[in-house]
Structure 1
Amino acid sequence: MHGIPCCLLWMVIAMMSLLDVALAHAQSAAKNPAAQDCVHVSLQGEVVEGKSWSASLGEGWVLQVIPVSGPVSGPVSGNAISDGKVFRGWDLAVNRVGAETYPDALLLATPPYGSLNAREIATTYGMRAQDAIAWEPRHFRFLTMQEDLTRACELHAQVMSIGQRSDAERNKASAQLLALLGSARQGSGQLHVEDAHIVPGIADPPLFAQAWTQHLHNVPHSNEQNAVASARGQLRWMRFAIDLWLPGSWKMPSQLRGVRAKCAE
């Protein structure tokens, strides 16, 4: 799940097409004042390694920060943590209240799938703990209609069914999923890391993360002392702020306070 896939050129092309769809959708929204009517909500929270956080969004949806961990790839032997063979951290997710599904409404609306994704705040894909907190702010989107979530889950399963369906079938499902994401009612958000406690990884940063590490000094954090060194390090604690832009007609729970605002692109 967290190893970089190979021989998936068709998926890369599909994701490039998705950017075109998203751009066209944003341009259409910019010309339509009604599409710019959103409710802006600000949330704050914190998580300790292995623990979760959640906030009710209303209309039966919940935003979650879910702990994740597991082997990078293949069997794990020896001191897998110090060898950097185990990833740890958190995933952002949006689910129906009382139901955690995969893929969730945030994953589906925030491609790419099966590769590095802004929803993962973790030591995945070769990232070290310091790289994970330096990549910020993290931007994401999420579906807000149950029927869209159900259909997107079906299409996602077809797109990812490598070896089980023909290229033509997967391409058709990919096109249908892109079209759905281009028209479905969605919310958007961004996460800022306000503070973190980490054990820095001692491996070299992956190429894609080198630009982020140059800005690490702008992210408040503390390096835990007397911790066992490891290739990827560990994320021990994080405090964060999340800004959400919900559809203007959104029915919010009483504990949330929102203000009318232009929808984030």
Structure 2
Amino acid sequence: MKIVLRLLAVIIAVFILPTLVSAGLWVTKDRPTRWNEANWGSSGLLPEAEESEDAAIYVFSAMTGGLKGAIASHAWIVTKEKGGDYQRYDKVGWGSPIRRNHRAPDAFWYSNPPRLVVEIKGQQAERLIPKVEAAIKAYPYGQPGGYRIYPGPNSNTFVAHVLRDVPELGAVLPPDAVGRDYLPNGGFYALDEDGRDLHLSLGGFAGVSIGARSGLEVNFLGLVAGIDIARPALKVPGFGAVGF
């Protein structure tokens, strides 16, 4: 009985309380109440495509709308061939299975500014773009109906799949990317392509990730707590990565 009570206390302290604090802070913010009142335009974070000949790959994440925006974000991928235009890829719950260029590459999401998760430019981006496009094409939930907001597969499941398949991008999604730990085809485990990160998951509801990019993470009902070793930070539910 003591073990159960201690476990419950840890869950409350590590997962529940930070989430409640985050939700409380969120409701005090001035934010749009409807999607058609939100800002979906460019944030100006990226230069115009013609301003640079370099190839590039970007992964962005932004908090989403409504109350779920207190703890959950939306991620997308942007590529740019050498001398070409930006190509944005999102997995959403409406329209085409994987949306292409339905927003500006650096657009706000429900008025929330995009956060840069990773940026690759130049020759390395040229080399990796075909791998990124192959991973996008191979996403197992890319067909119509292949979307479920919780626990996945959702927009974050899609981007996390690409990051696992192309570990040279060197990134994982932020802790508030609910759905990133839902593994394709209902799998219990997934090993990144280079073998440096291991992910264990019970249908996206609970799990553990450990490795060079993930550090140590524990997922509980989509909320992630842990520690980032490569970029020293605590991963706190509702607040994301809090750097030292």
TM-score range, shorter chain: under 0.3
**Structure showing greater relative contact order (alpha-carbon pairs closer than 8 Å, 6 or more residues apart):** 1
So what's the TM-score if we normalise by structure 1?
0.23
TM-score of the aligned structures, taking structure 2 as reference length: 0.24
**Hey, which of these two has a bigger chunk of strand by percent?**
1
